[in-house]
Amino acid sequence: MSATGGTKSIAEESKEQRGDLSYHYFHNEKGGDAPPAVPKKLTDEEAAAMHRTTSEQLVSGASLWNTAGTWEERGCLEWVKEQLKARVVGLRENIASPATDDKFTITELKSCTGEASVVCTRGKARHGFDLELSLGWEAIIGGPTIKGVIDISEVSRDTVEDDELEFKVQIDSDSKKESEAAKDKAQAQAKVFMRKIREQLVAFDKDFRAKAERRED
């Protein structure tokens, strides 16, 4: 009978049958004689085996936590800066002229800004970049050394692949005292030198793709 003298409801009878160990109270009551859970430190061998098992289940391109292959993006700008610096700084070409020591050289990666990342989604890793580069250069023209900058406004997979790089060549202020003929020749050589720079950017693009496919951090 219920408190009002009527027949007990199904809910009341069920609660009596469960007693104090119903799921509403289990977290506050002792549930039998089972010992409490105790953390156990894995051995090096057990940890290595677990890592191998987890790695085998990975979706290509994803982190260890991302076994479902959902969207994931990793920033790679610092790696890109180092790669571009290694590829372009020191590039050199002799200048065709009567003076055999005339040459044009990239001396510095002054800046590299923008975005570069690897995106992992649906089990595939894709790399991408959208950068602005500023390269310092110097040219020896008939004795004097002329210095300047090549600014490349948009460096991306599309502009590199399609050979559509837009750039601007400038002469440093401390080189403006040199003859107009020498400065004109240096600027012309800088424009011709973009061919070598693009070759390095194409190679960099391939290396970046390979890095993404190898799932490297």
pLDDT of residue 7: 62
What per-residue confidence (pLDDT) applies to 29? 47
- Cβ pair 125, 60 in contact under 8 A: yes
pTM of the model: 0.66
CA 186, CA 183: separation in Å to the nearest integer?
A: 5
* Helix 180-213 / helix 77-88 crossing angle, nearest 10 deg: 130
For residues 160 and 140, give the distance between their C-alpha atoms in angstroms, rounded to a whole number.
28
Residues of the chain with pLDDT under 70: 1-37, 47-72, 97-100, 216-217
Note the pLDDT of residue 23. 42
Q: Is 165 exposed, middle or buried (0-12, 13-18, 19+ CB in 10 A)?
A: middle
| pLDDT recorded at residue 12 | 62
**CATH class, range 72-213:** alpha beta
> In one letter, which amino acid is 131?
L
pLDDT, residue 37, reads: 67
Buried b (16+ CB within 10 A) or exposed e, 22-31: eeeeeeeeee
- Phi, psi (rounded to 5 degrees) for 67: -70, -15
**So what's the pLDDT on residue 168?**
97
Structural domain boundaries in the chain: 72-213
Which phi-psi region, left, alpha or beta, contains residue 83 (left: φ > 0; alpha: ψ -120 to 50)?
alpha
